Amino acid sequence: MRPFTAIAAAALSIAIAMPAAAEKLPLTELSRYLNSFQTATGAFTQINDDGTISEGQLLIKRPGRVRFEYKPPEQMLVVSNGDTVGIIDGKSNDGPQGYPLNRTPLSIILARNVDLTRARMVTGHSSDGKTTTVRAQDPANPEYGSIDLVFTSNPTELRQWVINDGGGSRTTVILGDLKKGVSLSNDRFVIPGIGTGGGKANR
């Protein structure tokens, strides 16, 4: 399994409630929205690069922390502790696998201060009349891949993201309604076998 297949996924064929028409949201507004909350929880649906579908619960604690709890029959847990993304596969005997967060496109929206107006960060910005889609990458390291963020308006909400990793795989996470401003302990973002931060990772 590619490391970031477990961190993102979904298909546009899954329906999302959207307004009838909307103007393209400016990058300043999208940055404001992403910076408007530190914590959030919600359900997600993931469609992997191989077409398989998973569901689960998402927990976000910016900066840097995210947790994907997968429903059975999956035996998967994906956790970022702020430095490392850990993938724990209950079907594998290899133990936790760690990857540097700053080498994943997901780090863009988990940053302490998201600024989509930063030079060369956004490589695509479009609207289909219902949603606004932004493609963003690390300006200094485009080889790490990119993330497509899909927003609705009135009010501005993040509805899905697509990870295009450096290996060529494309996976999407479709979000349910996010509950923001929730209390989340840092203990929820400890990677079993790796710890709270700075643990050993595959680099």
Question: Which pLDDT score, from 0 to 100, does residue 179 have?
Answer: 96
Asked if residue 81 has pLDDT above 90, the reply is: yes
Q: Are 61 and 189 in contact (CB under 8 A)?
A: yes
Determine the Cα–Cα distance for residues 144 and 104; give it in Å rounded to an integer.
6
Asked if residue 94 has pLDDT above 80, the reply is: no
Between 3.40.190.10, 1.10.540.10, 3.90.800.10, 2.50.20.10, what CATH number should domain 5-13+21-179 receive?
2.50.20.10
pLDDT digits (tens, 9 = 90+) for 169-203: 889 999 999 999 999 999 999 998 775 544 444 44
Question: Which pLDDT score, from 0 to 100, does residue 198 have?
Answer: 43
Confidence tier at 95 by pLDDT (50, 70, 90) = confident
Question: Which pLDDT score, from 0 to 100, does residue 80 have?
Answer: 97
Question: Which pLDDT score, from 0 to 100, does residue 194 have?
Answer: 72
Question: Which pLDDT score, from 0 to 100, does residue 12 have?
Answer: 38
Q: Are 162 and 148 in contact (CB under 8 A)?
A: yes
Confidence tier at 162 by pLDDT (50, 70, 90) = very high
Sequence ranges of the domains in the chain: 5-13+21-179
Two structure tokens written together for 44: 């997600």
Mean pLDDT (the chain, rounded): 86
Q: How far is CA 157 from CA 105, 149, 194, in A?
A: 19, 10, 33
Percent of all residues in the chain with a pLDDT value above 70, rounded to a whole number:
85
pLDDT digits (tens, 9 = 90+) for 11-39: 333 334 444 456 899 999 999 999 999 99
Give 77's Cβ-side CA count (13 Å radius): 15
Sign of the dihedral defined by the CA atoms of residues 115, 200, 44, 147, in that order: positive
pLDDT digits (tens, 9 = 90+) for 124-144: 999 999 999 999 999 999 999
Two structure tokens written together for 152: 């609705």
